[in-house]
Amino acid sequence: MPGKDTIFNLMKYAFPYWHLFLLSLLLILAISASNLMRPYLIKVAIDDYIHKAAEGTVSVEAAKNGVKTISIFFGILVIFEFVFSFAQTYILHTAGNKIILKMREKIFSHIQKLPITFFDKNTVGRIVTRVINDVDAINEMYTNVLISFIQDIFIMAGIVFAMFKMNKKLTLISLTLVPVMAVVTIKFRKKAREIFDVIRTKLALINAFLSEHISGMKIIQVFNMQEITQKEFEDINKEYYVANDRQVMLFGIFRPAIDFITSFILAVLLWYGGRNILKGQLEIGTLYAFINYINRFFQPIMDLTDQINTLQSSLVSSERIERLLEEKPESEPGINFEGNINFMDSQNFEENKKKEYKFNTNKASGMIEFKNVWFAYSGEDWVLKDISFKIEPGETVAFVGATGAGKTSIINLLCGFYENQKGEILIDGINIKNLRKKELRKNIGLVLQDVFLFSGDIKTNIGLFDNEVSFSRIKKSAEYLGADDFINKLPEGYDSPVNERGTTLSSGQRQLLSFARALARDPAILLMDEATSNIDTESEILIQESLSKLMEGRTNIAIAHRLSTIQKADKIFVIHKGEIRESGTHQELLDKEGIYYNLYKLQYQT
């Protein structure tokens, strides 16, 4: 059985469009009532006119007129049903599409607010499955199950009423096996839901596998991994096939079972009704109406197999989507960098309340301080241990150290991607845990080693659809970095299309665009994580020259393995196994002949 919360959530999404569903329901009830009149009209034509005309109790002319009248009325009902069916289908699908439109927007909006830890734990394929496949499954419920279910109940109730009016005994005989059918349906429903849960899980695995391996196709081909990855895909695909095969098997058993029960009841009706007709105790038209009604009565139960299929898929999908929406977004406290700060409740509320933070142009000055910071991605496997340092506004500092020493973790913490377990991280004296994430990141420019470019054009990849970033600022940032030269050589300049991930551009060109992207926002703090590792020497020199013009009044933090890029830094911190072991200028660290000195010798020894 689905949880009450699941059903409530599905109804909650539909509520804003209740008037469309109500109109659709009224139309479907009118259509169903019209449809139920058909067998009765044929029964009247047979018993009151055709049969009586054959017996001679009604004149042939009167019978013709009666049948003609019934036929005209029958035709009007058919036209009426056609028009109303079109209107009902259009209205219902319009409501369903509106719900799905809002649902996808809500899910994507929520995904963008989730912390990076969520994406560390969930694959791209799994998230895509929630937004695409699961939402589509729910749409099927709104358009094919919700109203149809009510329609089927109305039809079944109407049929029972009509049959009781015609012949009570024949009705009771017809409904003897309904309890058996109900038990079979309930058992089927429970099993179907279990299978659909497995199917959705396997589908998410396939989506995740395809997303990962298509993105890494160059590696697959260059290392001749095709046969290995093909085998892996075939194994996952087979698991999905087996799950679907179980579904086919289940439906293959259920539908014939319902057919058997229906056929058995029809056989009993034919035997019992035929005997009573021969005895003169039952009219032919009544038996016809009963057989027609019984087929119509069990048809909704037959349709229920498909509806249960859709319903179970929708319930499973709804539960998965709700679990996604229950994921806690990044915390959003109330402090920002604008003039007088609106504080929210916090441990330091009274202390902060007395302070008044004001900055020029509503922007941070860029002072950064770590106070005894400890950080672990999980448990107590500390990546940073008791880190303390202070960077004054406008300073350029660098962090160096071996891979895995903890350098990138410092940048992750500054960006608010993760939260430190111990100690404090302050920007302009404000603990970043008390800052709105949007406000924090508005003051930070980030350039990573692996550049991510979106499908679009050059200017949108620099401006990222930010209304505050004008085209003149985009162009100026590109000119500062020397990116303007290669952009102007492209066929359409700044309007030149960029493929997914920028595959048509060189690594150097992609990195230049990422620099322009960060600098176009004029951040107070500029963070660079191995930003020049994929740039050739000539481009690196060009970028260094361009960046030097923009570093005044800006706090710059660089992480680099190539020590040539950070020799002019005001201060260099050497990180070793999560701890700061050395700090100073390039020359001061060389004079110490410690870790930094050894790293320098390794890179420049002849």
- CATH at 61: 1.20.1560.10
pLDDT at 343: 29
Please state, in angstroms and rounded to a whole number, the distance separating the CA atoms of residues 347 and 339: 22
204 and 155 in a common domain = no
Please state, in angstroms and rounded to a whole number, the distance separating the CA atoms of residues 603 and 606: 9
- Lowest-confidence region among 183-192, 315-324, 550-559: 183-192
Question: Does residue 309 lie in a domain region?
Answer: no
pLDDT at 381: 86
Task: Read off the pLDDT band of 358 (50, 70, 90).
Answer: very low
Task: Read off the pLDDT band of 550 (50, 70, 90).
Answer: low
Among 166, 183, 205, where does a domain finish?
A: 166
Phi, psi of 556, rounded to the nearest 5 degrees = -120, 130
Question: Does residue 554 lie in a domain region?
Answer: yes
226 and 157 in a common domain = no
157 and 73 in a common domain = yes
Give yes or no for residue 1 having a pLDDT over 70.
no
Phi, psi of 167, rounded to the nearest 5 degrees = -160, 105
- Higher-pLDDT residue of 577, 336: 577
* Secondary structure class of 491 (helix, strand, coil): coil
- Higher-pLDDT residue of 285, 572: 572
Please state, in angstroms and rounded to a whole number, the distance separating the CA atoms of residues 145 and 308: 8
Give yes or no for residue 345 having a pLDDT over 60.
no
pLDDT at 352: 38
pLDDT at 344: 30
Task: Read off the pLDDT band of 147 (50, 70, 90).
Answer: confident
Instruction: Indicate the average pLDDT of the chain.
Output: 82
Question: Does residue 221 lie in a domain region?
Answer: yes
- Does residue 405 contact residue 413 with C-beta atoms inside 8 Å? no
Residues of the chain above pLDDT 90, percent: 15
Give yes or no for residue 367 having a pLDDT over 70.
yes
User: pLDDT tens digits, residue range 188-244?
Assistant: 777 877 887 788 788 888 888 887 787 777 667 756 778 888 898 999 999 999 988
- Does residue 140 contact residue 308 with C-beta atoms inside 8 Å? no
pLDDT at 574: 94
User: pLDDT tens digits, residue range 380-433?
Assistant: 789 999 999 999 998 999 999 888 888 999 999 999 889 999 999 999 999 998
Question: Does residue 13 lie in a domain region?
Answer: yes
143 and 26 in a common domain = yes
**CA dihedral angle for residue 405, residue 409, residue 411, residue 412, rounded to 10 degrees:** 160
Question: Does residue 384 lie in a domain region?
Answer: yes
Please state, in angstroms and rounded to a whole number, the distance separating the CA atoms of residues 463 and 28: 51
Task: Read off the pLDDT band of 549 (50, 70, 90).
Answer: low
Mean pLDDT value of segment 349-362: 36
Among 260, 281, 302, where does a domain finish?
A: 281
User: pLDDT tens digits, residue range 502-522?
Assistant: 777 877 788 888 888 888 888
User: pLDDT tens digits, residue range 93-120?
Assistant: 888 889 888 989 899 889 888 888 888 8
Give yes or no for residue 357 having a pLDDT over 60.
no
Among 146, 166, 186, where does a domain finish?
A: 166
200 and 119 in a common domain = no
- Total domains in the fold of the chain: 3
User: pLDDT tens digits, residue range 50-80?
Assistant: 877 877 777 888 888 988 998 999 899 999 9
Question: Does residue 30 lie in a domain region?
Answer: yes
Question: Does residue 335 lie in a domain region?
Answer: no
pLDDT at 342: 34
Please state, in angstroms and rounded to a whole number, the distance separating the CA atoms of residues 63 and 71: 12
Question: Does residue 252 lie in a domain region?
Answer: yes
pLDDT at 382: 93
596 and 471 in a common domain = yes
Mean pLDDT value of segment 304-322: 78
pLDDT at 539: 62
Q: Which domain holds residue 415?
A: 368-605
267 and 378 in a common domain = no
161 and 172 in a common domain = no
Whole-number Cα distances in Å, 601 to 402, 568, 583, 594, 595: 14, 18, 17, 11, 10
Give yes or no for residue 360 having a pLDDT over 60.
no
520 and 373 in a common domain = yes
Beta-ladder partners of 572:
398, 584
pTM of the predicted model over 0.75: no
Please state, in angstroms and rounded to a whole number, the distance separating the CA atoms of residues 420 and 410: 10
Q: Secondary structure of 28-53 in the HEC alphabet?
A: HHHHHHHHHHHHHHHHHHHHHHHHHH
